[in-house]
Copies of this chain bind each other. A is one copy, B any other.
Amino acid sequence: MPSHDTLLDKYAELIIRSGLNLRQGQQLLMTAPLEAVDLVRRVTHHAYKAGASLVTALYSDEKTTLMRFEQGHEAAFDAAPAWLFGGMAEAFRDGSTARLAIIGEDPALLAKQNPDHVARANRSRSKAYKPVIEQITGFATNWCVVSAATPSHARSVFPDLSPDKALAALWSAIFKCTRADQPDPVAAWAVHNKALHTRVKLLNAKRYRALKYKGPGTDLVIGLVHDHVWAGGASEARNGIICNPNIPSEEVFTMPHRERVDGTVCSTKPLSYQGSFIDGISVRFEKGRIVDGTATKGGDVFRKMIETDDGAARLGEVALVPHSSPISASGIVFNETLYDENAASHIAVGQAYSQNMKDAGTMTPEQRLAAGMNTSLIHVDWMIGSGALDVDGITADGKAEPLMRKGEWVE
């Protein structure tokens, strides 16, 4: 078996080549937890090798994040680094700077803090971050989200292992799920992208009006916007660069209609939202809006989340993932959306991606809204798939075609 350093280097190269497809002369702006410094350095190495003009890493630190909630004065929770986010949006706008997010925070970091303080801080942050999210969801530049194993995250995934073994186990799972452990990870991603693109083409040809979900606690119809576009795997950003925005990624996804979602749905995996766990969600939609909802864990956080703004209680994304995906097959619950969303079909409340509707990039905000595209400060994925889920595609004339049975593609 290759050494950890060899695998880390292959992973970093995969991120630069397949994830970002970084071009000569581009700047790279990375965010990462301090504990991911080794990966940041390998990524930086491959970025300069690929011709990056400048690599900037912005680090987050769980210890200081926690200090704010533990020691901050009451008035301290409505501030956000708008100055920094304004600068980041500026960097992405013309596509000259690529964006890499390395995630790996403790999913329960803020679980013991005052939920009102956490909600206020998150709301301020989301609001200030909006200029950045608009550039990313609008695909102004090539971007990619990946994960690094960190001690606190590894502990949450493998609570019964020693710290060293937990960290090693999480890295091993990351290398496997991202195909970084394969002899030629870049070639493996080319094959994988081809399979996703075939599925996307099939679905786009169908022009379904809606998707119908049936499963334990789930009986849901999700209308799709008229000019919806299914996407998955590598996508072309507005700067002309084809990138893989998520590594790993097993999903195909499109745009729900913000006013045409009806029925009940249950979550099938826990969800970590800005430092707290939410589990056992059960909600009812009426005309696109969550009108009734509970969660067996983190109910307060869930309620505050969908109250962020009007669009936070409506859908912005619907994604299909076979139950047999490699991430699901690993049997690991990663407590991290990037991985868990690729283990199961999911929906997301909040902001929609303009790539999922034809011409959304050139529409006015009013036109987008009229077409059914959702908008919000947040975008939170939420797993509803399992080995017991059936999904039908509803055609323009109302006929139901089986898409998934017991969580697997029918064809």
Min C-beta distance of A54 to chain B, whole Å: 4
The list of the 6 closest CB pairs from A to B, nearest first, reads A87-B87, A53-B79, A83-B91, A48-B71, A54-B79, A44-B64
Smallest CB-CB separation from A124: which chain B residue?
B54
Smallest CB-CB separation from A34: which chain B residue?
B37
Contact status A24-B75, CB under 8 Å: yes
Contact status B64-A55, CB under 8 Å: yes
The verdict on A48 contacting B76 (CB below 8 Å), with A54-B81, A56-B84 known, is: yes
* Chain B residues with CB below 8 A from A54, complex form: 68, 76, 79-81
Contact status B76-A52, CB under 8 Å: yes
Answer whether residue A97 sits at the interface, using C-beta atoms and an 8 A cutoff: yes
Min C-beta distance of A283 to chain B, whole Å: 33
Contact status B55-A37, CB under 8 Å: no
List A residues at the B interface (Cβ < 8 Å): 24-25, 27, 29, 34, 37, 40-41, 44-45, 48-49, 51-59, 61, 63-64, 67-68, 70-73, 75-81, 83-88, 90-91, 97
**Complex: A48 Cα to B52 Cα, angstroms:** 37
Min C-beta distance of A263 to chain B, whole Å: 41
* Chain B residues with CB below 8 A from A24, complex form: 73, 75
Min C-beta distance of A21 to chain B, whole Å: 16
Min C-beta distance of A366 to chain B, whole Å: 30
* Chain B residues with CB below 8 A from A67, complex form: 41, 44-45, 48, 55
Interface of chain A, main secondary structure: helix
Question: Could you show 27 A-B contacts with beta carbons less than 8 Å apart?
Answer: A25-B75, A27-B81, A29-B83, A34-B34, A34-B37, A41-B61, A44-B64, A44-B67, A48-B70, A48-B71, A51-B73, A51-B75, A51-B76, A53-B75, A53-B76, A53-B77, A53-B78, A56-B81, A57-B61, A57-B64, A58-B58, A59-B59, A83-B88, A83-B97, A84-B91, A85-B87, A86-B90
**Complex: A75 Cα to B34 Cα, angstroms:** 30
Min C-beta distance of A192 to chain B, whole Å: 29
**Complex: A85 Cα to B83 Cα, angstroms:** 10
Q: List 11 other contacts, CB 8 Å, given A41-B64, A53-B75, A83-B90.
A: A40-B61, A40-B64, A41-B61, A41-B63, A44-B67, A48-B71, A53-B77, A55-B64, A56-B81, A57-B59, A87-B88
Q: Which of A40, A45, A83, A90 has the most CB of B within 10 A?
A: A83
Smallest CB-CB separation from A71: which chain B residue?
B48
Smallest CB-CB separation from A97: which chain B residue?
B83
Min C-beta distance of A187 to chain B, whole Å: 24
Min C-beta distance of A195 to chain B, whole Å: 34
* Chain B residues with CB below 8 A from A75, complex form: 24-25, 51, 53
Smallest CB-CB separation from A45: which chain B residue?
B67
* Chain B residues with CB below 8 A from A29, complex form: 83
